[in-house]
Structure 1
Amino acid sequence: MPVTPPEQSFATAQVQAGFVSGVAQNTAVPPIYQSNAFEFSTLSEARDLFALRRDGNIYSRAANPTVLVFEERVAVLEGGIAAAGVASGQAAVALSLLALAKSGEHIVAARQLYGGTVDLLQDTFADWGIAVTFVDQDDLQAWADAVRPETRAFFAESVTNPIAQILDLRAVADIAHAAGVPVVIDNTVATPYLQRPKDFGADISVHSATKFIGGHGTSLGGVIVDLGTFDFSAEPARWPQLTEPYRRVAGGSLVERFGEKASPYIALVKTKYVHDLGPSLSAFNAFQLLQGLETLDLRMSRHSANAQLVAEFLEAHPAVARVHHPGLPSSDWHGLVETYLPRGAASVFSFDLHSTGDDAADFERVEQFIGRLHISRLVANIGDARSLVAHPASMTHSHMTPTQLAESGITSTTVRLSVGLEDPSDILRDFGAALDVV
C-alpha cells in the first residue's frame, strides 16, 4: 500500500485522496466494482495472478468482482459448476461453440433458431472454416445422420424463438452423447426457472441475459454455464484444447489444472476467447442483471400466466389463422410441456394472421395491426417487463431465405409476441381492438 505523505499537492490529492485500495465495505447487496484494473500488493503477487497460480483480480476484461457474483449465481440456478459472463447473448453463443469447434470441425444445429444465431453459424462460422449442418430439431434421425467424425457439438434452443417449439432435449442429448459430443442449449426463452437443461442431458447452457434474466430491457449481457456433465478427458484426442498442455497456464493442460475443482471448459472460454476477443460483461450491466435475477421466478410466473391467456384469446379470434404456443392443446408440442416446462409455458410465441397469398398485402395487414397497438410495443427484443411485438420475416429473421423461413414455420403474416407483466385484461383489450380492425 502506498504511503500517503502528510501533505499532497492539489493535482495528487484530486487523484488519490480519500481512497485506500483493498479496504472492504460491508454492503448488503453486491456492489458495482466500476474499475478497469486492480492494484497488486507486490510484483510477486502480480506474477502469480497472471500465471493463474492464485485466484484474484487482474483486469476487468478478464474478470470483475461484480461479474463473478453474477456468474456464480447463474451457475447455481442452472445447477452448473462454473460460468462465464460476456457482453451479449450473441457473444455467449459464439464463444460457447468456438471453445469446442475449430477450423475443419463441425457442429450440428437445429434449423429452428433465432435469426441472428443462423447468421452467426452459416456465415461467420463458415468464414472461420467451421461447418454447420442444420436439421429439423423434431427429426431425431436427422440429428443422428448429421454426425461426422469431426462433429464437436450439438446446438439448439430449449424453446425456440419465435415459434415456441419445445426441444425433446433428452432424446437429442442421448444421440449427442452416443456420438461422444456435448449438447449446448440456448436457454434464453425458458430461463433456469422454467427449465434446467441439465436435468434433461444438456452439458452447456447459454443465455442472452439481456432478455428475461435482466428483465427490464436496459442492459446487454450473456452467460455461458458449464453444467459439469461432459467428460472431456474421456477422448483426449478429440479435445486437445483442453487435454493437451496449455501454454497460457503453467502446469499442464486445462483438464489437469481445473478438472477436479473447477471447469476446464470455462477456463478456456475466459483465458482465450474472452481475453483475446474482448466481449466482456461490464460491471454496471452485471449489477443490473443481478437485480433482475432476484425476481426471476416471480416475473416468469406472471409472464407465463399472461401469455397463456393471450394465446387462448388469439386462438379464438377470427382474424387469427394459427397460434404457435405450446400451452394450447392444438400445438404440436403441447405433449412436451408437462415434461420440459412444468412451471409454465414460455411467454415468447407467435401467431399468424390469415394470409391473402400476396406478401406485400400481408405485410400491409401486419403493419396495420401493429400500428393500432397501444400496450404492446414494436421492439426487436424479448423478455422485457413490457409486452413487445415484432415481425420476424422483416426484422429478426430477415436475412433468412424463403426456404429457411418456411422450414422455421415463419410466414409473411407471422407476428412474434413477448408477453409482459401488464394487467392481462389491458393486453387482451389492446390485441382485440387491433385485430377487430384487421
Structure 2
Amino acid sequence: MSERELKVTELGHRGDGIAQTETGPVFVAGALPGETVRAEVVDGRAKKPVIETRSPDRIEPLCRHIKTCGGCSVQHLAEQPYLAWKRDLVVKALGDRGIETEVGDTIAATEGGRRRAVLTATRAGRTPLLGYHEKASHKLVDISECPVLDPAIVSALPGLKKLAAAVLPKKGELRLTVLATTAGLDVAIDKADKTYDRKIPALSQMVMELGFSRLSVNGEVILEVRPPLLDMAGVGIVAAPGGFTQATVAAEEALSKLVLDGAGKARNVADLFSGVGTFALRLARTANVHAVEGDAAALAAFDKALRKPQGLKKVTFERRDLSRRPLVRDELEPFDTVVFDPPRVGAQAQAEQLALSKVKTIIAVSCNPATLARDLRILIDGGYVLQSVTPVDQFHYSPHIEAVAVLTRE
C-alpha cells in the first residue's frame, strides 16, 4: 500500500490528529492541527506517520517514554492550545446534546503532580517491570520517570518495583495504587500472589526501609507505620487502601471552590456520590450536609474523620447505591442545594429524580463530558437553567477532563 499525504485539521477527543479524506476521517497519532504528514493508511489510521510540515504549537515532549507509554497523548502540544482543546471536549459533548452555552476557560490544576498513581507490574522472563501499558496494547512500559506524577512517587519507583516483585504472581499482572499523603506514600497492591502471607515479615521490613506510611495487599492492611492522612480543608482523612481521591491537590481545591461558589449561602445540602467527603466537609463549614455514598470503605473513612470535633454544622450520611436507588423527589424536598459527583457512567437515574424536584440549586461535577451532557440535558428538560460550566484539568497531557456545572430552578 502506497503512502498518502494527509492534512491534519483537528484534534480528536483521544488526542489523535484527524485528517479528512475522500474515504473518511483518518486518525494520525501524534499529529497536530495544521500539520501535513505522509503515511500509509490502514483501517482509517495512519501507520508510522512522518511529519512533513510542523505546527507552530508543537513542543518537545518532557518524558523519554512518550513514544511507547500510553499514559500521555498530547505532551507535544503547547499549553494554551492544549487548554483550549480540553475546553472544546466539553463544548462538543454539550453540543451533541443540543446544549448551547458559554463554557469557561479551562482551569489548569496540575501543579505539584498527580498524587495518586495506578501502576501495573509484571515479569518479562525473570525481570520485573513496573509502569503503564502502551496505547491500545497489553505490553507494559517499564518507566523510570513520569513528569505528571508527584516527585515523591517518582523517586520511589525503584522501591515500588522491588515491593511489587516480591508478590508478583507466576503469571499475569498485579496492580499497585500509590497515594502521596502528608505521612508518606500509601501503597495498595491488588492481584498479588496468593502466597503473599508467607512474606509478611519481609514485606513489613521493606516498607519500613522505604519509608512508606502503609502497605495493603489484596485488601488486607499488612502494616501501617503512620496513618496516611489527606488534608481536606483542615480535616484529616485516612482514605481507604486504594480508594478514590482527586488526582491532584490543586484540582481538589479548584473543584471545591467551584462547588462552594455554586452553593453560595445554601443552608441544607445533599452531597451525592460523596466519596470520603471531599465536598461535604467543606460545605459543612456553613451548611447542614447529608452525604450519600455507595462505597462502604469511603463512608468509613468519612465517619472516622467526623468523630473528631471539626467545628462543622450538622453532618449526616448514609450508604446507598444511587445508580440503582436514587434519592426520589420527596427525599430531596429538605435540600435547597444538591451536589453530585458520580463515576464516569454518570448519574442518569439521580438526574431524572432531580428533574422532578424543587431543589433550587444543583451542582454537577463530572470526569466524563459525555455523561455530564446527558445528565444536564435531563435537568434542563426538567426546567433547570444552566448558569455556568467550568472545565478543570487535573489529568495533564491526557484526554480526560473534569467539569463543574451549576444549574438553578427559577
TM-score by length of 1: 0.29
Of Structure 1 and Structure 2, the greater strand share is in 2
Normalization by structure 2: what TM-score? Answer: 0.30
Which one has a larger percent helix, Structure 1 or Structure 2?
A: 1
